[in-house]
Structure 1
Amino acid sequence: MPIDAAEAVAAEPRSTSISWDHKDIQLYHLGLGAGTAPGRPDDATDPDELRYTLESRLHVLPSFATVAGAGLAMGGGLAAPGVDVDLAAVLHGGQSVRLHRPIPVRGNAVQSSKVAAVYDKGKAAVLVLRTEATDDDGPLWTNDAQIFVRGEGGFGGERGPSERLALPDRAPDRVVERPVRPDQALLYRLSGDWNPLHADPEFAKLAGFDRPILHGLCTYGMTLKAVADTLLDGEVSRIGSYRTRFAGIVFPGETLRIRMWAGDGRVQVVVTAVERDDAPVLADTLVEHS
């Protein structure tokens, strides 16, 4: 069997040294559409946006943890002992980030990755790839990526948890729309995800799409930025954790509709694609904050 769950979970973590500076942070933020205020695409001087783009004012959106070190940790997890899968059968099903403290603008860390769990969903297996980063001052972040591998279920393992979130029985507290620039995937991929699915029309057709699609983690970062700017006064250091389930695709040039329900130290979010009759994009999405 291509996945040996016991061997994969028992394998020692793979560690690598990573580093980043303000240029990596700025590039990541620009790849999320930072730089221009909503509704003012011709204005690149909005002070609320300069905190994402100007090195003298820079702070770090916590979702940067998903691309730190050029996002190599996920690939390392898929190459772990006991894991031998066809990448064409792999889907990114969900993502969570837990911050142990704010991410510095410049840093050096050791990032370790391992298969934390393997679940049997019947027609698919789910790998939980865990990445932990630590610097000289201690733990920085923990990422969990839920990876569906089609055709690899049915091996008799645990089904795993179901993390569905029931939405509040009321209208959202805030609804915002964020446009995805036609070239946004081309810019976002410079942070490390070079999958041609997001740039090459011919490759996208082979994968079953009529044109390249946006990275799911780009939508993930755009959504967190929208929540921070709308409900947290842009104070990204207040964010403690963020998780989502990828429920659908986004095409460059579309518009994200982001619905937010604010609670006590938490914001629940649903994201849809405006131009496709609110087709689901992100579901079971939760931001926890101070």
Structure 2
Amino acid sequence: MPIDRDKALTADPAVRTIHWTTRDVLLYHLSLGAGADPATGPELHLTYENGLTVLPTFAVVAGSGISAGEAEPPGFHLPGIDIDLRAVLHAGQELRVHRPLPASGTATLTSRVAGVRDKGKAALIVLESAATGPAGEPLWTSTTRIWARGEGGFSHDPGPDEEPVTPPDRPADTVVTSRTTPQQALWYRLNGDLNPLHADPEFARAAGLDRPILHGLATYGLVCKALVDGVLDGDAGRLTHLAVRFAGPLVPGESLTTSVWRDGPSAEGTERLVLHTSCPERDGAPVLTHATATVTA
């Protein structure tokens, strides 16, 4: 089905109420490997309900896990957009957290198509979701970039060029490593993303891959946890913004090496970090690029 950009951009936002519990948060943290490294111990602040800290990237799965009930069949269907799931690639993710997330809660989630760009052989679809709490307080805003192969040619308008994010020409200030396990994607899909690309070898081959790959949002969460552990002294509340582009797949069982360059504190009391994440098992192939984070000083 061709993309109808005008219909997609003018459709009314989708509004729904979402709920999450400490069980959802605990599963999310476990799916990112919390408590699995003997060197860090059980990480009870992430794996035990008493005194539970919430990693900010939990926001991207809130309302989709255990407490949401039976997950809907995977698909990609929006007003003006109906795409074969095998054509879809997660191109990028951005999250702004306006306050620390509670370990359980309810929110109103308002979602819309914020952009549809014709890239010739593909379409770039930009989705935006904003969550507010029961009293109307802003909780988070997330932006998802979807690359739809074979869906271009509907407008000949590629959209504006975007300024690239390039790491400084000096050694990184910090380098952190995240390890994954062969079953990592099977754990992570229980957060609500049941796309067979991450579990079914036959489906993965039909999509042009050798084997199932890890969810892009799992990589995103792994890097968030690595920043909290390796840069922020375990204080998850200091990370308020994380934006990345997904540059290459990661196979469960491979590792991530994230290099971090610090800009120094600003007058507003925040600090910008520039990130680059690669896979050492594949000779440093990039996994996340054009990546930045904002942290409170």
How does the TM-score come out when normalised to structure 1?
0.92
Aligned pairs for 1:107-256 within 5 A: 107-137=105-135, 138-154=137-153, 155-256=155-256
User: C-alpha deviations, 1:7-30, integer Å up to 9, x for none?
Assistant: 111110111111001110010011
Shift of 1:123: 2.0
2:161 and 2:107 map into 1 onto residues whose CA distance is: 31
Shift of 1:122: 2.3
2:75 and 2:198 map into 1 onto residues whose CA distance is: 21
User: C-alpha deviations, 1:235-266, integer Å up to 9, x for none?
Assistant: 11111111000000001111111111122202
Counterpart of 1:69, as a letter, is: G
1:135 and 1:269 map into 2 onto residues whose CA distance is: 31
Unaligned runs of 5+ in 2: 265-270
Q: How many residues align structurally?
A: 283
Shift of 1:50: 1.5
How does the TM-score come out when normalised to structure 2?
0.90
Name the residue aligned to 2:91. Answer: 93
SS at match of 2:81: coil
The sequence identity of aligned pairs, in percent, is: 49
SS at match of 1:193: coil
CA contact (8 A) 1:77 1:115 kept: no
2:230 and 2:178 map into 1 onto residues whose CA distance is: 12
Change (3 A) 1:248 1:158: closer
Unaligned runs of 5+ in 1: none
CA contact (8 A) 2:87 2:207 kept: no
Change (3 A) 1:107 1:94: same
Counterpart of 1:10, as a letter, is: T
User: C-alpha deviations, 1:141-183, integer Å up to 9, x for none?
Assistant: 1111001112222313352342420211100111122211111
Higher share in helix: 1
SS at match of 1:249: coil
Counterpart of 2:117, as a letter, is: Y
Stretch moving more, 80-89 or 241-250 = 80-89
1:70 and 1:117 map into 2 onto residues whose CA distance is: 24
